[in-house]
Structure 1
Amino acid sequence: MFEYLPPLNEHNLPYPDTIHPIVVHFVIAMVLFAFVCDLIGYFGKNSRLFEVSWWNLFFATISIFIAILFGQIEAGLAEPYNAAVRELNWHTTLGWSLSAILSGVTAWRYILRSKDPTTVPIPYLGVSVLLMLLVCVQVYWGDKLVWVYGLHSLPVVEAMREGVL
């Protein structure tokens, strides 16, 4: 069965480079931009920004599941060494949790938008702050996996293949 799968390249991937970070940065940007639009819309009394925020949340919610799909594939192909396993597990757990939390926040936002598209309540903004904090923690762990542990980088993949790690 494995002979039908494409061969892995020097990054230990069946495609040219990692896709997970590309999609994840799209999600991060949309979630952060939605939050900024909500804040500016709330304090600047500009209700048009609430519509921008809604659509950013909507597409971020769809995109996070694509990011998780590629993240799971790439994490499995990374063959993480012992030092990286703990952070990779935390990153994976928080990623799945963020997908549920973001889906819940987006559903709540849809209900709020259906009732009154010209305002957002303070409790919603408070939950959005917590969402931003979780996103920042997730970004920290993802950066650590790439820049400290070097998952899918050439030297680490070579070391894994040679049995050094």
Structure 2
Amino acid sequence: MLEYLPPLNDHNLPYPDTIHPIVVHFVIAMVLFAVLCDGIGYFTRNARLYEVSWWNLFFATISVFIAIIFGQIEAGLAGPYAVAESTLNLHTILGWSLSGIIAAVTAWRYVLRSRDSKTLPPLFLVVGILLVGLVLVQVYLGDLLVWVYGLHSVPVVDAAKKGLLQ
């Protein structure tokens, strides 16, 4: 059965480059923009921004699960070495947690929107700010995996294949 799988390239991937970061950047942007629109809409009393926020949250919820699927595949193919494992594990746990949190916030937002699309309770803004905090922590962990530990970079993949990384 393994003969039907495509061969891995220099990045230890069956496709040209990592897909997880591409998809996850959409999620990050949509969540941050949704919270920004909520804040501006709340303080300027511009209810049209609530609609923009809703659709950003809706598509972020779908996209986060796509990001997780590719993240799981790419994490498994990364062959993380010992130093990177704890960061990768924390990034994975927080990623799965964020998918549930984003879905719950979106569901809550749907209920609020169906009751009254022109108002937003201040508690929702507070939750949005906390969500932004979690997203920023997740971004930091992802940055560590790429820019410090070099997962899926050619030199790190080569060193791992040669057994130079422990």
TM-score by length of 1: 0.99
Partner of 1:145: 145
Could you tell me the percent identity over the aligned residues? 73
Looking at structure 1, the residues matched to 32 and 126 of structure 2 have their Cα atoms a distance apart, in angstroms, of 14
Looking at structure 2, the residues matched to 93 and 119 of structure 1 have their Cα atoms a distance apart, in angstroms, of 34
Partner of 1:56: 56
CA shift for structure 1 position 79: 0.3
CA shift for structure 1 position 68: 0.0
Structure 2 counterparts to residues 3-152 of structure 1, below 5 A: 3-152=3-152
Looking at structure 2, the residues matched to 142 and 22 of structure 1 have their Cα atoms a distance apart, in angstroms, of 12
Cα-Cα RMSD = 0.4
SS at match of 1:12: coil
CA shift for structure 1 position 19: 0.1
Kindly provide the amino acid, as one letter, of the partner of residue 5 in structure 1: L
SS at match of 1:108: helix
CA shift for structure 1 position 5: 0.3
Gaps of 5+ in 2: none
Number of aligned positions between the proteins: 165
Kindly provide the amino acid, as one letter, of the partner of residue 67 in structure 1: A
Looking at structure 2, the residues matched to 40 and 2 of structure 1 have their Cα atoms a distance apart, in angstroms, of 53
Runs of 4+ with deviation above 4 angstroms: none
